[in-house]
Structure formats: structure tokens, C-alpha cells
Structure 1
Amino acid sequence: MDNVVDQNVNQVVDLRNGFELPLLLFAGFRTIIDELHAELARQGHPEARPAHGFALQAIGPEGATASEIGRRLGVSKQAAGKTVDRLEALGYAERVDDPGDARRKVVRLTPHGLDLLARSAAVFEQIRGRWAAALGEQRLRELEDGIARLTGPTGFRLDAAGWFGG
């Protein structure tokens, strides 16, 4: 970013390059996520990774099949199955018989997985509070509202993890 002095009004004009906006937004995202995971590790979830959060959200409170999880994450059923295998190994999810169809398995969150989600929500609130203290609550709300307006009602999609992976 370069600062230029406008000779006519003796005012500093901040020139920003278009490519900087996505980098700044990503840096903010990365800062929040890194802080979240450092705190989750201190609170008993050292194995939690950002992709796990997307997957746990895709499973949801009612549970989901591997196919549903794959669709929600934008990955194949096989990739979703591998993710579920990892979540199972970590104790965050479990496969159970589908009460409506004995041929299917449903993935459910375990108490350990629900604990991770609850702690994540609390830590996100703490981080947001610090950002509000640093920027001012009104300024942060305006930033959030502006981004929400630009991204629309479907701005957040669970398939972000799959999108990052290519």
C-alpha cells in the first residue's frame, strides 16, 4: 500500500491495490482460526483442525450419512468417509445404524464432538470481543454488515474446506 500526497488539497490519499482485499480478508480469517485452535488445544482439543470444524458442522445435530456430508462439504462420498474415519478415531463422531433404514449408517456427533463445537463457539465470541475492543463495536458491526451484504445470504458455505483443497 502506498500513500500519496495530493498536491491540491495537501491530503494523504491511501492507494490500495485490488488484490490486497482478499489477502486481508484471508489474513483476518487465518488469524481468527489460528487463535481459535491454539485456545482449543489449551482446552483439551489439541488434535482439532480447521477442516474438522467444517465436517462437524456438516454432520449437524441430527447426524448425516457419508453421502450427505460429502454433498455439504463439496467432496466425494469417499473423501467424506475418510474425514469421518478421522473424526471417529479422534472421538468426535461415531457411525450408528440408521433407524429408518438398517442398510445405512448415520454419522453422529459424540459428546466429545459436541464439546468441541461448544468450546469453539465460546472462543469465537471471545475473539470477536477482542476485535470489537480493538476496532470499536460499531466499526466491527459495520464491517460484518458490509461483508454480509456483499456475500449475500449464502455467503458462508460448508464446502469451503473442499474449495481450499482444490
Structure 2
Amino acid sequence: MAERAEGTPDEAGAGVELPVLLFAGFRSIVDALHRELAEQGHPDLSPAYGYALQSVGRDGSTAGEIGRRLGVSKQAAGKTVEKLEALGYVERVDDPQDGRRKLVRLSPRGMDMLVRSAEGFDRLRAEWVRVLGAERVRAMEADLRTMAAADAFRLDMAAWFNG
């Protein structure tokens, strides 16, 4: 067992271990999901594209709205939209409310990916329940809801990591 520096808690793990373990758990789920999605016909989809597709929403969004949701510039969002359009996940259409604007909408391929993604997350959670038990997983989720700030769930993860 590693020695602890004087003044550190005599518990399992140092303070830095908690965020590292939380991130590792997050990565294990997201990476497993993307392996599944690749096997199901979505090999080009990165986690960042998944967040971008979530930010499009069911009713569509402008590139500016997508950028705000992701915490990136309109230009960066536009480049992401171009790539997603080239991959067949979104389409640009005239905004029925304002003919000067273009809306980005999910294509059938984008909708398929989001449905498969939701199903995959359910399967992965079920695996955690199988290994850890339903009570422990529910308790962990409740504890994380308690500790996470009210505005903690945002899609701007890339912007947050990159400063």
C-alpha cells in the first residue's frame, strides 16, 4: 500500500482519485457505446459528434444555437454540421419561421443513431446493475444527482476541456 503524505485523509484514495474514477467510468461507458454503434453501422461517429447531434434536437436548430449549446463558436459549430451532413447524420433545410435562416435537422440516419445510442446506454447501465447490483447503481446515481451542480449537465464538454 502506498504511503500517504502527512495530513492527507487515511481513506481509500486521494482527493484526485474521485474525479479520475468518475471520468474513467464515464469513458468506459461512452467508449463501449461507440464500439457498439460502430458495429451497428455508425463507425464514423465520435463522442463529440454524438454531443453535437444531441444539441440539434428533435425540432432542429441553427448553427448558432448548436454552437451555444456546445460552447463553441458559430464557425466551429458550422464545421461540425458540415461534417455531420457529409456523413449523412443531419440535413440543412430552410427555416419555416424565417426564410433567411437554415435549420439543421436530424436525418433518418441521425435519428437511427440517437435511438441506438439510447438503447445502448440502457444496455450498458444494465451491465453495471448486473455487476454492482441495482441498489448500488441507484444509490450512486442519487448521490451524483445530489453532488452535481444544478447546471452541471451541459453539452459543452469539449469547450470545457479546451478552456
Unaligned ranges ≥5, structure 2: 5-9
CA displacement, residues 44-86 of structure 1 (integer Å, 9 cap, x when unaligned): 1011110011101111001000111111110000000001001
More strand by proportion, 1 or 2? 1
Q: CA deviation at 1:3?
A: 8.7
Q: TM-score, normalised by structure 2?
A: 0.92
Q: Which has the larger radius of gyration?
A: 1
- Rounded to whole Å, the distance in 1 between the matches of 2:107 and 2:131 is 36
Aligned to 2:142: 145
CA contact (8 A) 1:2 1:16 kept: no
Query: For residue 73 of structure 1, what is the amino acid of its counterpart?
Result: L
Partner of residue 37, structure 1: 34
Following the alignment from structure 1 to structure 2, what is the Cα–Cα distance between the partners of residues 141 and 69?
32
**Alpha-carbon offset, residue 25 of structure 1:** 0.4
Query: Hey, what's the Cα distance between the residues in 1 that align with 2:125 and 2:162?
Result: 27
In 1: Cα distance, 2:38 partner to 2:162 partner:
24
| Residue 7 (structure 2) aligns with | none
Determine the C-alpha separation between the residues in 2 that align with 1:34 and 1:158: 17
Aligned counterpart, 1:24: 21
Residue 123 of structure 1 aligns with an amino acid whose one-letter code is G
Letter in 1 for 2:58: P
Instruction: Tell me the amino acid that sits aligned with residue 20 of structure 1.
Output: E
Structure 1 unpaired stretches of 5+: 5-12
Contact kept, 8 Å, 1:40 with 1:119, in 2: the verdict is yes
Pick from 76, 79, 100 the counterpart of residue 103 of structure 1. Answer: 100
Within 5 Å, give how 1:99-138 maps onto structure 2.
Answer: 99-138=96-135
* Identity %, equivalent residues: 58
Counterpart CA distance in 1 for 2:12 and 2:140 is: 20
User: Structure 1 length normalisation: TM-score?
Assistant: 0.90
The alpha carbon displacement at 1:16 in A equals 1.7
Q: Give 1:152 deviation, angstroms.
A: 3.3
Aligned length: 158
Runs of 4 or more, structure 1, over 6 Å off, are none
Match of 1:50 among 34, 47, 53: 47
